[in-house]
A and B are shown apart, each in its own frame.
Chain A
Amino acid sequence: MSESTTIPPGSDEDVVRHRGWFAALWHSRDGRRGVIIVGVVLVVGLMGLWGLTPYAADAQNPASVLKGISFSHPMGTDQFGRDVFSQAMQGLGVSLEIAFLSVLIAGVIGTIGGIVAGFLGKWTSAMIMRMTDMMFAIPTILFALAIVTALGFGIVDSAIAIGVPWIPIFVRVVRSPVLALRESDFVRAGRVLGFSRLRLLWRHILPNVAGVIAVQTSLTLSWAIVAEAGLSFLGLGPPPPTASLGEMVNNAGSLAGVAWWTLWGPSLVIVIAVIGFNFLGDGLRDTSDPRTRTR
């Protein structure tokens, strides 16, 4: 009997249903956590960026200096009477802006580099890989310091400083699956079928590394937030009066003994954002393969 007739037509197994990638993400445990946390973080960050904060982020109020946690000040106030939560919202917004911009730089350049290095000939590949080796040899913080010193302290400068060191990581992460896919039977089959190299790259190889890229993007975002906080902690972030999470942590260092909330508030925001992007990355990793998406 032909196996195509083993399942009687009209049975439950007759039609296989597939979830879209977002539905699949929502149905995975880590994915749903990530989507919710990142969603909240994005909304709060954007509100902070657009000035939709409970108080103006830089509004000083001598009447309520170093007030503890209360309904009116959920993260207390600092030594100038500024609302820590409003400042943290603005700082988060700036952090996200820099993080997304830096990951855009690293992701686009790194992915193109990785695909080219994986798909094209030995010479191009060797050139790109030696360049990434050279970039790996430079310590990330040193590189960021050099770029910020050379370019300035603006948002784009910070994004370049944070994004460029991540280019070689994207190159490597993308290159190895591309190398494997290039030699896979289905790409060979495509060559035998007369598909162009562009089609093989765009329609067959790229969709099969998209999951890897999405996961790496999400994880790099969480690292970029930490890196941005690190830079502004060292005083290399956007200059005052723009609030930034790292600078807030730095300033709170001397106050932590008397007003712990000034340290905990911005730190908590960093941790939540990082955890959110990590969950999202794990969720994407689990669901990026259509093999996991059959209902």
Chain B
Amino acid sequence: MLEGSFTVVDIVLRAHDLVKVYGGRRGQSQVDALSDVSIALEKGKTLGIVGESGCGKSTLARLLVGLEAPSSGTIEINGHLVQANEHSARRALARKIQLVFQDPFSSLDPRMTVEKALAEVLKVHSLQTNDAVARIAELMAMVGLTARFASRYPHELSGGQAQRVAIARALAVEPQILVLDEPTSALDVSVRAEIINLLVRIQDELKLSYFFISHDLSMVRHISDDIAVMYLGRVVETGRYDQVFSTPLHPYTSALADAIPVPDPEHERSRQASGSDAVQVQVDQVTRGCPYAPRCALVEPACRETAPALTETSDGHFVSCHVALRVASRRPTDPTMSDAPGGDEP
């Protein structure tokens, strides 16, 4: 995961201290969309990025694919620093990392048929120029579309089919990394599982690495190896998926884990009784201290004074929470912390 990790892993993308600030010029109010976000993606693995609306997930996605430049901080792909300010550099970056958008219809040009959209990508990158038709058929087959969809416009596709086309278009440049920005949120529930299964299959076949961005933890669970929980532009907890969600350290992670719907009425009743509060905190309201303090059930005086740093508690498991860190340091090796923050309400 992060630099402190003991296991030697093959890191395909590493973002270091990414900061993105919007506004702040000529009296505009300044918004810190991302504050010191550091993440690392292992080759062939999936890093799930979860958090509520406005936590900076999509900003992170835009920075990763080079749509926007970070205010400070660096992104490395295969150890090479990414600088996407020139067109040639942009083209080179495009071959490494691609983005799949939330809304498949708006991400496809309404005036281009499936075939033309795929052919354009091949043409721009001079790929398979002598046999583009076969490559297009191959790409479509890869995402489970038959050839008869080639002549269709986006509006003649279902949401799931359109998302398959968007995935095929991203795969056309043979990237190593896909950033999946809530790829299933705009789809019918019945289609979501198909798309997730498709993504898992493609990952195996092509040895891709994924960023899977979502607010839907039940989706993240199916696909993620690692997970980073974001809150107001910061990573508050990160680690292996099972690590993070079996023993959530940060109270926000606990609240998220509690919010996963479980098809059991008894569970539902107890969940509502514990009731994590739903106060929305704006990014610009937090000036100092822990950004989660205004919502936190376990808040202490220290939380309002100093922001906790992201600190490793066990192998690869990082958290930024004063309370969690104190509890973890008391019992560093016990994986079943009964008094994990957020578990019981005072």
Contact = CB atoms under 8 A, between A and B. Distances in A.
Contacts of B110: 186, 208, 289-291
Nearest to B149: A4
A204 interface: yes
A193 B94 CA distance: 5
A33 to B, nearest CB: 26
A150 interface: no
A179 B92 CA distance: 27
B146 A208 contact: no
A294 interface: yes
Interface stretch (B73-81, B154-162, B272-280): B154-162
Interface of A: 2-5, 9, 14-16, 18, 184-186, 188-197, 199, 203-204, 207-208, 289-291, 294
Contacts of B98: 192-193
A212 to B, nearest CB: 13
A5 B95 CA distance: 31
Contacts of B67: 188, 191-192
B90 A194 contact: yes
A192 B63 CA distance: 11
Interface string B75-97: 00000000000010011111100
A16 B152 CA distance: 7
B31 interface: no
B144 A4 contact: yes
**6 nearest A-B pairs in the assembled complex, by CB-CB distance:** A194-B94, A194-B91, A185-B107, A185-B106, A291-B155, A186-B109
B169 A189 contact: yes
Given A192-B67, A290-B111, A15 B90 contact: no
Contacts of A184: 106
Given A3-B160, A207-B111, A194 B173 contact: yes
B158 A3 contact: yes
Interface of B: 65-67, 87, 90-95, 98-99, 101, 103, 106-112, 120-121, 124-125, 144-146, 148-149, 151-153, 155-156, 158, 160-161, 164, 166, 169-170, 173, 191, 194
A228 to B, nearest CB: 34
Contact of B173 (A4, A193, A290): A193
B48 to A, nearest CB: 21
A16 B148 CA distance: 9
A193 B146 contact: no
28 contacts: A3-B191, A4-B144, A4-B145, A4-B146, A4-B161, A15-B148, A16-B152, A18-B151, A18-B153, A186-B107, A186-B109, A186-B110, A189-B108, A189-B166, A190-B109, A192-B98, A192-B99, A193-B98, A193-B124, A193-B173, A194-B92, A194-B95, A195-B120, A197-B87, A203-B120, A207-B109, A290-B153, A291-B153
Contacts of B95: 194
Nearest to A191: B67
A208 B112 CA distance: 10
A199 B124 CA distance: 9
Contact of A189 (B92, B101, B125, B160): B101
A9 B149 CA distance: 11
B148 A9 contact: yes
A184 B110 CA distance: 11
* Most B C-beta atoms less than 10 A away, residue of A5, A192, A196: A192
Contacts of B170: 193
